[in-house]
């Protein structure tokens, strides 16, 4: 299982660039940047 670096979604006018890392069945947030619009 590789890292998913393209998980993006828009919520309440804020664009979130999230890096999700999966290791040993655990999902952790690597980086999360909020871009207010």
**Domain boundaries, given as residue ranges, for the chain:** 4-36
Rounded Cα–Cα distance for residues 35 and 27 (Å): 23
Q: Residue 5: its pLDDT value, please?
A: 47
* Residue owning tokens 């660039």: 17
Q: Residue 12: its pLDDT value, please?
A: 59
Q: What angle do CA 20, 24, 30 make, to 5 degrees?
A: 20
Q: Residue 36: its pLDDT value, please?
A: 67
Q: Residue 33: its pLDDT value, please?
A: 75
Quick: pLDDT tens for 2-37: 444 444 555 556 666 777 788 888 888 777 777 666
Q: Residue 2: its pLDDT value, please?
A: 47
Q: Residue 8: its pLDDT value, please?
A: 53
Rounded Cα–Cα distance for residues 15 and 34 (Å): 6
pTM beyond 0.85: the answer is no
């Amino acid at each position: 299982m590789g890292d998913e670096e393209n998980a993006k979604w828009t919520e309440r006018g804020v664009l979130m660039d999230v890096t999700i890392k999966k290791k040993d069945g655990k999902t952790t947030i690597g980086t999360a940047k909020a871009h207010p619009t």
